[in-house]
């Protein structure tokens, strides 16, 4: 059996966020100091400080197992803006 070596390349976080933006994939944001809360939605914008703008955003409470739609705008879509407290995007 021949073994193949897989090369792993480290990806910069900003590049990963850009890939999620391009693919319009739904992401889950883990908040740094609020372990029971997560924000889920599609990334529609971000800046060099990795502040995020999400559409179809929902707040998930892991402990209570509840979902809450965040701030609907004029076109009926939920959106959220996250600044600074992002721990991980998965």
pTM over 0.75: no
Q: Confidence class of residue 84 from pLDDT cuts 50, 70 and 90?
A: low
Query: What pLDDT does residue 81 have?
Result: 67
Long-range Cβ contact pairs of 75-81 (< 8 A, separation 24 or more): 78/41, 79/41, 79/44, 79/53, 79/54, 79/55, 80/39, 80/41, 80/53, 80/54, 81/51, 81/52, 81/53, 81/54
Q: What is the pLDDT of residue 87?
A: 42
- Both tokens of 49, joined, read 């400080």
Q: What percent of the chain has pLDDT over 70?
A: 77
Terminal alpha carbon distance of the chain? 34
């Amino acid at each position: 059996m021949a073994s193949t070596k897989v090369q792993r390349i480290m990806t910069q976080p900003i590049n990963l966020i850009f890939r999620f933006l391009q693919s319009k994939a739904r992401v889950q944001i883990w908040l740094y100091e609020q372990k029971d809360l997560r924000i889920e939605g599609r990334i529609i914008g971000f800046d060099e400080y990795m502040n995020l703008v999400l559409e179809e955003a929902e707040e998930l409470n892991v402990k209570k197992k509840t979902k809450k739609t965040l701030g609907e705008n004029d076109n009926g879509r939920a959106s959220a803006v996250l600044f600074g407290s992002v721990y991980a995007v998965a």
